[in-house]
Amino acid sequence: MQKYALRCVECGTIQDTYSTHCDSHDSLLRTEYLEKKLIPRNLPGIWKYSEWLPVDGVIPEGSAHSVTYQSEGLGKELGLENLYISFNGYWPEREAWMKTCSFKDLESFPTMQRLLQHNDPRVMVVASAGNTARAFAHVASITGQPLLLIVPKMSKHRLWIPGDDTSSICTVGVGGDYYSAIELASRISCRNDFITEGGARNVARRDGMGTVMLDATLTTRRLPQHYFQAVGSGTGGVAVWEAAMRLVDDGRFGNQLPRLHLAQNLPCAPLYAMQSGADIDSSCPKGMWDDVLFNRQPPYNVRGGVKDALDNTNGLLYGITNKEAEEAKELFEVTEGIDILNAPSVAIAALIKAVHTQSIDPHDHILLNITGGGKERLEQEYATKELDFDLTVSPTNPEVENEIIDMITEKLGARDGQ
């Protein structure tokens, strides 16, 4: 018997194991695991939570899980007695081993493992403003699976990996923002021989990110009352909500779902704008504190998406300015003693706001997701390798798809001929 089934959130019918859409609805599909109790396995990295991941095997090398610990410094500073941090990044002193330094590692490993076990030889296409590209490149450099990265040219500084085998990775730099990259990627992935990673619709991504909640709940032996995260698409929020519902069904960790506190960076905050009617500046994502938090088409209204997650948990969305994020980042780094990426400081600023507006109580159990960090720490120990663009293109060039396919054929062909 299969360890899980994929169910349409709208109509409840079971769909094919590898599909991303319901036959009849535009709803998200959700995994339903046979095992209702979460039993951690004695496996490395994220595979510890294999029971609730839609995979049958593991990629032992290179994967890591979140690390949950109780904050002393920041908690004391904010007067919070039960502040727990889910650290996703590299911090050996706390046994945090995510070598691309963001929680996108939680999505890339299960996604690529699924492709492997399905014997799917197609080229995985990933559009990314950086952190996702890095996470998928990291896996592909370990497994040798073919990967096409489509990245905004201005995000090149985020294109590095901790390993050095890039022979299966084809990298294209695109003029324009993340949206141009997404559009080009979706055109390419319609072709034979290519497959898209599926974004929020990919259950391996969501359940991978959901392990943040699994790790925290097993560590503290209870569900938190509040969950804080910086979001672009909001998929992480949906993922932890789904994980929390499974943990409620498990029965050992309480029956109250954590309240989602999701934070975006003003003025480039589409989710926040959908709820509050605020404007999105036409210059976005230029000037953002961290442009990984910009996504023009977040899965807000789709059934099982961000709106449902917020409604179901009495959740809140926050708009955070660059200045608030910058101050929050400094406070965190000083009080907790590790460098973090810019994005998670938007979540910390939201936590500070929630304390000031008394949306949370000093005794409440709070989980703060530090979605990326430890890059400076990693650089003390590892020589990271920068990925070069194999090709740079303008999204309006009518020949762009053919140019990309020629480049891939040449690069991967040369590799296969070795």
Ligand X SMILES: *Cc1c(COP(=O)(O)O)cnc(C)c1O
Which residues are at the interface with ligand X (CB under 6 A)?
102, 104, 131, 230-236, 292, 341, 343-344, 371-372
CB of 107 to ligand X, least distance (A): 8
Bridge-based pairing of strands 147-152 and 160-161 is unpaired
How far apart are CB 393 and ligand X at their closest, in Å?
A: 24
- Among residues 168 and 265, whose Cβ is nearest to ligand X? 265
CB of 344 to ligand X, least distance (A): 6
Looking at beta carbons only, is 271 or 404 nearer to ligand X? 271
For ligand X, give the closer residue by CB, 47 or 228.
228
Distances (CA, A) of 227 to 64, 83, 278, 328: 21, 10, 24, 17
Cβ nearer to ligand X, comparing 155 with 225 = 155
417 contacts: CB under 8 Å, gap ≥ 6: none
Residue pair 362/80 in contact by the 8 Å Cβ criterion: yes
Other CB atoms within 10 A of residue 38 CB = 19
CB 265 → ligand X: shortest distance, Å? 10
End-to-end CA distance of the chain: 41
Which contacts qualify for 61-66: CB closer than 8 Å, 24 or more apart? 61/142, 62/99, 62/109, 62/138, 62/139, 62/142, 62/163, 63/105, 63/109, 64/96, 64/97, 64/98, 64/99, 64/105, 65/106, 65/211, 65/215, 66/96, 66/103, 66/106, 66/211, 66/212, 66/215, 66/216
Residue 146 structure tokens: 């073919």
C-beta of 234 vs 267, nearer to ligand X? 234
318, two tokens? 């926050």
Nearer to ligand X, 233 or 275 (CB): 233
Give the CB-nearest residue to ligand X: 236
Cα separation of 108 and 137, whole Å? 9
CB closer to ligand X, 272 vs 393: 272
- Nearest distance from residue 232's CB to ligand X, in Å? 4
Looking at beta carbons only, is 218 or 292 nearer to ligand X? 292
Give whichever of 88 and 145 is closer to ligand X, judged by the CB atom: 88
CB atoms within 10 A of CB 382: 13
* 337-372 CB burial, b ≥16 within 10 A, e <16: ebbbbbbbbbbbbbbbbbbeeebbeeebbbbbbbbb
What's the min distance (Å) between Cβ of 337 and ligand X?
Answer: 19
CB nearer to ligand X: give 29 or 400: 29
Residue 81 beta carbon to ligand X: minimum distance, rounded to whole angstroms = 26
Please report how close the Cβ of residue 58 comes to ligand X at its closest, in angstroms.
23
Task: State the minimum distance, in angstroms, from the CB of residue 246 to ligand X.
Answer: 18
Shortest distance, position 324 Cβ to ligand X, whole Å:
16
CB 130 within 8 A of CB 372: no
Phi, psi of 108 (to 5 degrees): -70, -40
